[in-house]
């Protein structure tokens, strides 16, 4: 048992030393989020969907306000008031359903876009690591000190943005 433990510690030490001797690169994820056209496109897509839902909810809210004023009016009959109350409740229910749908769809969309961006960054990093012989690529924020040539962020951005159509 002791011999197996010593052998495992030895193998682990050798693998750590070989990794430590390998070339590392890093990417600045904050820079990617700020500069990438792909990220900007994903954020715009999410923002457009949010604006669409806000507009639809705003329209429902306005209708609800109008109905509320009609319900509170003194010039309305009891029967008309009851109908307006039912209409108000139905519209309020629709607004709640739309809000829940919007929240779910926006959350799902944000997650899908984040995953897509993450996967593209990962693929670009792996491609560059294989081409340039890096043992690993990590976030630049992890380093206390790093050589400037370790940062491959610009190259990663160029790769992930290569397929993004240019804005008109």
Q: Flag whether 4 is in a domain.
A: no
Considering the chain, what is the average pLDDT of its residues? 85
Residue 11 lies in a domain: no
Q: Place 1 in a pLDDT band, splitting at 50, 70 and 90.
A: very low
The domain spanning residue 104 has which CATH number? 3.30.910.20
Question: What is the DSSP code string of 47-114?
Answer: HHHHHHHHHHHHHHHHHHHHHHHHHH-TTS-HHHHHHHHHHHHHHHHHHHHHHHHHHHHHHHHHHHHH
pLDDT digits (tens, 9 = 90+) for 49-86: 999 999 999 999 999 999 999 888 888 888 888 898 99
Indicate whether 16 belongs to any domain.
no
Q: Is the pLDDT of residue 15 over 70?
A: no
Give residue 2's pLDDT band: very low, low, confident or very high (50, 70, 90). very low
Question: Domain total for the chain?
Answer: 1
Mean of the pLDDT values across residues 114-123?
93
pLDDT of residue 156: 95
H-helix or E-strand containing 135? strand 134-139
- Has residue 118 got a pLDDT over 90? yes
Domain that residue 69 falls in = 23-161
Residue 117 lies in a domain: yes
Whether this model's pTM surpasses 0.85: no
Q: What is the pLDDT of residue 168?
A: 52
């Amino acid at each position: 048992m002791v011999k197996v433990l010593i052998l495992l510690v030895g193998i682990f030490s050798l693998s750590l030393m070989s990794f430590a001797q390998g070339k590392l690169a890093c990417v600045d994820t904050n820079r990617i989020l700020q500069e990438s056209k792909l990220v900007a496109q994903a954020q715009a897509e999410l923002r457009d969907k949010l604006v669409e839902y806000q507009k639809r909810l705003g329209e429902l809210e306005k209708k609800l306000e109008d109905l509320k004023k009609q319900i509170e009016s003194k010039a309305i009959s009891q029967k008309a008031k009851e109908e307006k109350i039912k209409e108000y409740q139905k519209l309020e229910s629709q607004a709640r359903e739309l809000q829940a749908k919007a929240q779910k769809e926006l959350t799902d969309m944000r997650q899908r876009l984040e995953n897509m961006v993450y996967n593209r960054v990962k693929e670009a990093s792996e491609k560059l690591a294989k081409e340039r012989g890096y043992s690993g690529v990590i976030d630049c924020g992890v380093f206390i000190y790093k050589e400037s040539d370790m940062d491959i962020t610009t190259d990663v951005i160029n790769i992930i943005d290569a397929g993004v159509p240019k804005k008109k």
